Amino acid sequence: MTTTDFGSAALSTPRSVLIDGIGMLVTNDPELGEGLLGAIDDAALAVEDGRVAWVGPRSRVPSTDARIDAAGRCVIPGFVDSHSHIVFAGDRSQEFGARMSGRPYTAGGIRATVAATRAAADTELLGTATRLLRECNAQGTTTLEIKSGYGLSVAEEERALRVAARLTDETTFLGAHIVPPEYADDPGGYVDLVTGPMLEACAPHARWIDVFCERGAFDEEASRRVLTAGQRHGLLARVHGNQLEAGPGVRLAVSVGAASVDHCTHLSPEDVAALAESVRDGEGTVATLLPGVDFSTRQPYPDARALLDAGAVVALASDCNPGSCFTSSIAFCIALAVREMRMTPEEALWAATAGGARALRRTDVGHLAPGARADITLLNAPNHVYLAYRAGVPQTAAVWKNGALVAGRP
């Protein structure tokens, strides 16, 4: 056997590679290892044709064509970041600075990004989004959902989704992000546009339909119209809700069978119960928490403990966007979830991997059982607790997506 990195050749050449000497392997499959994370100490993992072929203790490794020595470090599934807005132009660092100096956050800041995005060339939008996707990869994210929502016209929303579709399969039509200035006097007319011609143009480029169900954005009735129109076009529903105040977002998301309701910063006991009951009924609605937003807008953090203790499924995502949270670091979100939201390190890592996969209704990512996509992160750490323990410190040694190295070196 030779020591090698299994770069892009792994996609085209059918051969097997063993990552050996893993100090702790997180599989997220409790049948394969210990606890919620299905953790195996002193482990190895074999990859073949872009998929996980075998995992287990080092004492029983299969023979493979090549071998990588993890040298006692930790291997985790690639992060599944189920919420981002990286197709945009412009800079809102001044707004952030002002907010940190005492001005409250309102949804209206989105309009600044809309103006800049509409003025940008296609190449600028794709360039920025590509750079941010690479930044995500370098920090261990291997699946990234990307939304439209800074175009807010038929042509601009379609353009944003065409850009997003160059970078991910998980594209979300968010024409109902806010009402654009030209419809300020006719918000109902804007909902007609979103559910009519804009949806017609955007549905072919999107997997998901989303709406910002919040005071200052779209009320419950308008939000329901948007989601059900999208569903009639074959899109799956997800919702921005309960970010700025307790509202109808969670209730609406559960009632339309949305895969996820995102933010959940302000939840009633009824909201928590509805989310928990929805997952007991089957696929259900995941509560996707975005603690980077609460950090960057100086909001309270969501009550993750109430959700988890009630039996709801919780995901963690970045919400990477230029206004309310410009981080692409899921490790940072994990650290916030552990320190500020009292999630255990195990719960937080699960939420950022398997939880994100649930929020995207994906079974091929977010875990490292045999058959899963070989979306793998090798940490420069002996175990996953370091993600929160060494907050703010880069700890990603190498990242593979579909078995191909996309960042770092093993």
Would you count residue 170 as binding Zn ion (CB under 5 A)?
no
State the DSSP H helix or E strand holding residue 330, giving kind and residue range, or none if neither.
helix 330-341
CB atoms within 10 A of CB 52: 22
Minimum gap (Å) between residue 319 Cβ and Zn ion: 5
What b-and-e string marks burial along 153-188, b requiring 16 or more CB atoms within 10 Å of the CB? Answer: bbebbbbbbbbbbebbebbbbbbbbbbbeebeeebe
Would you count residue 157 as binding Zn ion (CB under 5 A)?
no
Minimum gap (Å) between residue 94 Cβ and Zn ion: 21
Cα atoms in the 13 Å half-sphere on the side-chain side of 371: 3
- Taking CB under 5 A as the criterion, the residue among 48, 319, 347, 375 binding Zn ion is 319
Would you count residue 294 as binding Zn ion (CB under 5 A)?
no
Tell me whether residue 351 or residue 368 sits nearer to Zn ion (CB atom): 351
Beta-bridge mates of residue 51: 48, 373
Range in contact with Zn ion (rule: CB under 5 A) among 27-35, 67-75, 313-321, 386-394: 313-321
Q: How far is CA 390 from CA 11, 67, 395, in A?
A: 34, 29, 8
Number of residues that bind Zn ion (CB under 5 A): 1
Tell me whether residue 44 or residue 286 sits nearer to Zn ion (CB atom): 286
Q: Give me the helix-helix angle, 122-138 and 154-167, nearest 10°.
A: 40
Would you count residue 48 as binding Zn ion (CB under 5 A)?
no
Residues 134-153 that bind Zn ion (CB under 5 A): none
Range in contact with Zn ion (rule: CB under 5 A) among 119-127, 268-276, 315-323, 393-401: 315-323
Tell me whether residue 210 or residue 303 sits nearer to Zn ion (CB atom): 210
Tell me whether residue 179 or residue 372 sits nearer to Zn ion (CB atom): 179
Range in contact with Zn ion (rule: CB under 5 A) among 72-80, 248-256, 275-283, 311-319: 311-319
CB atoms within 10 A of CB 90: 16
Tell me whether residue 29 or residue 319 sits nearer to Zn ion (CB atom): 319
Range in contact with Zn ion (rule: CB under 5 A) among 42-50, 176-184, 201-209, 312-320: 312-320
Tell me whether residue 86 or residue 341 sits nearer to Zn ion (CB atom): 86
Tell me whether residue 48 or residue 319 sits nearer to Zn ion (CB atom): 319
**Nearest residue to Zn ion, by Cβ distance, number only:** 319
What b-and-e string marks burial along 367-400, b requiring 16 or more CB atoms within 10 Å of the CB? Answer: bbebebbbbbbbbbbebbbbbbeeeeeebbbbbb
Beta strand pairing status for 74-77 and 16-26? parallel
Minimum gap (Å) between residue 167 Cβ and Zn ion: 17
**Footprint of Zn ion (CB under 5 A):** 319
